[in-house]
Amino acid sequence: MVIPDYYEFGSRTHIMAGYDALEQIPGLLSSMDAQNPMVITDQGVSRAGLVDILLQALDSRITIKTIQDDVPADSDLITVHTLAGQYRKYGCNAIIALGGGSVMDTAKGVNILVSASSDNLLAFSGANALTHALNPLVAVPTTAGTGSEVTRVAVISDPDNLRKLLFTSGFLMPDAAVLDPRMTLTLPAPVTAATAMDALSHAVEACLCLGRNPLSTAHAHEAIALISQHLLPVILQPDHKPGRLALATGAALAGMAFSNSMVGMVHTLGHSVGSVCHAPHGTCMAVLLPYGMAYNLHKTQPLLADLLLPMAGADVYARTPPADRAQKAIDWVNRMNQRLHQVTAGAHAVCLREMKSQDGKSLVPGHLLPKIAHTALGDGSIFYNPEDLDYDDCLMVLEAAFNGAPLDLSRVKKG
């Protein structure tokens, strides 16, 4: 590992992980003198019975002032403003965010408004617009993927202007992340697969992209090892608690890594597929990850080669000649996708063309690829990718990923 001339790393979130992690929340909140929390969640989480499990664990040791379970799949400004009103109305002094990325990002948005006594979230968008610490926020993730429970980032959409607002600040890292396997035991296999591949892509991009540093890489390598070892076994045995805890830990580690090093073209293209086609983020990541690795191969060969060890284990790593390790890491991700495709009876897509909505409609029509490529050029993560991408490069990668064809490396322009 080459140590950069300069780097920054911050991670302030207190991690509470284990089989009785939920039970520790009341003690945590009273240590912060915040015994009147609001619970923010969504209906899927609530229907899955996770709110009940949380309430049981809290065992009326704290007074939950209100439970709001109306967060939509894509967190938006209106929801944030409404929930901030509820927080004030019920006199809350903390937030428990129970859900996936959208719920946690919504909670971060609400926390900005209530902590700053403001009614205008727009005033805080962008990088480092926050200057004061926020009220207590406890994140309880119900997927093992986004890593939002530990990141300095929140993405909230502005439906009036059809854009996604990005908020970044060290103050957005939650005070605590509670990783309890009871929250992911009932997650359906395709969602477990897609969200874990999102976490894997955070870890891989953290290792390859321009903001990488020794601390982010250390977190990312351990994340890759945990996800690689436990993802398939958990899909085959969904109620395996140690495996679920390992995936949750892997996702949090990957979150800490990319929150500091940022992500590159896998997310550049994935965000764009997501915003143009409303396709789920995790599946986009799973499909695009091997393409991002292959595209950057000529610039990141030794870094990619190092990833084979946490991915495939010491035996495979030692058996593979050093010159072949980078390519083998890419092959490993492809094979993981194929295995996930098999064990989820085809629900885990391996190319963009195969991505289907719940009613079986194709999510990513081929004629939208140029529009996706164009959108990608405006995504900030493109800055952090090791190799440059212009419109033609984005389209070339998208076309290959659409058909599930290997990337033609002779078409990758090298400066």
Q: Which residues bind other proteins (CB under 8 A)?
A: 4-8, 126-128, 166, 209-211, 261-262, 377-380, 382-384, 386-388, 413-415
Judged by CB, which is closer to other proteins: 50, or 254?
A: 254
Judged by CB, which is closer to Fe ion: 114, or 263?
A: 263
Encoded tokens for 132: 């004061």
**386, interface contact from other proteins, Fe ion, none, CB < 5-8 Å by kind:** other proteins
Judged by CB, which is closer to other proteins: 171, or 332?
A: 171
**408, interface contact from other proteins, Fe ion, none, CB < 5-8 Å by kind:** none
Name the minimum Å distance from CB 285 to Fe ion.
Answer: 6
Q: How many residues bind Fe ion (CB under 5 A)?
A: 1
Name the minimum Å distance from CB 5 to other proteins.
Answer: 8
**198, interface contact from other proteins, Fe ion, none, CB < 5-8 Å by kind:** Fe ion
Please name the amino acid found at residue 80: V
Name the minimum Å distance from CB 333 to Fe ion.
Answer: 15
Q: Which 292-351 positions form the footprint of Fe ion (CB under 5 A)?
A: none
Phi/psi region, residue 126 (left: phi>0; alpha: psi -120 to 50; beta: rest), is left
Judged by CB, which is closer to other proteins: 148, or 261?
A: 261
d(CA 52, CA 58): 10
Bridge partner list, 314: none
**415, interface contact from Fe ion, other proteins, none, CB < 5-8 Å by kind:** other proteins
Name the phi and psi angles at 312, rounded to 5.
Answer: -105, -10
105 binds Fe ion (CB under 5 A): no
Burial 81-98 (b: 16+ CB within 10 A, else e): eebbebbeeeebbbbbbb
**387, interface contact from other proteins, Fe ion, none, CB < 5-8 Å by kind:** other proteins
| 347: Cβ contacts below 8 Å, ≥ 6 apart | 189, 190, 193
Name the minimum Å distance from CB 67 to Fe ion.
Answer: 27
Please name the amino acid found at residue 253: L
Please name the amino acid found at residue 281: H
**119, interface contact from Fe ion, other proteins, none, CB < 5-8 Å by kind:** none
Judged by CB, which is closer to Fe ion: 11, or 143?
A: 143
Encoded tokens for 179: 């990783």
Angle between helices 325-343 and 297-312 (to 10 degrees): 60
Name the minimum Å distance from CB 2 to other proteins.
Answer: 12
Binding residue for Fe ion, selected from 105, 175, 198, 387, defined by CB under 5 A: 198
Strand pairing category for 14-17 and 176-179: parallel
Judged by CB, which is closer to other proteins: 216, or 337?
A: 216
**In 3-state terms, what secondary structure has residue 259?**
helix
Q: How many angstroms from the chain centroid is the CA of residue 303?
A: 22
Name the minimum Å distance from CB 174 to other proteins.
Answer: 21
Name the minimum Å distance from CB 123 to Fe ion.
Answer: 26
| Cα angle 220, 221, 225; round to 5 | 115
180 binds Fe ion (CB under 5 A): no
CA distances from 415 to 162, 259, 298 (A): 35, 29, 11
Q: Which residues lie near Fe ion (CB under 5 A)?
A: 198
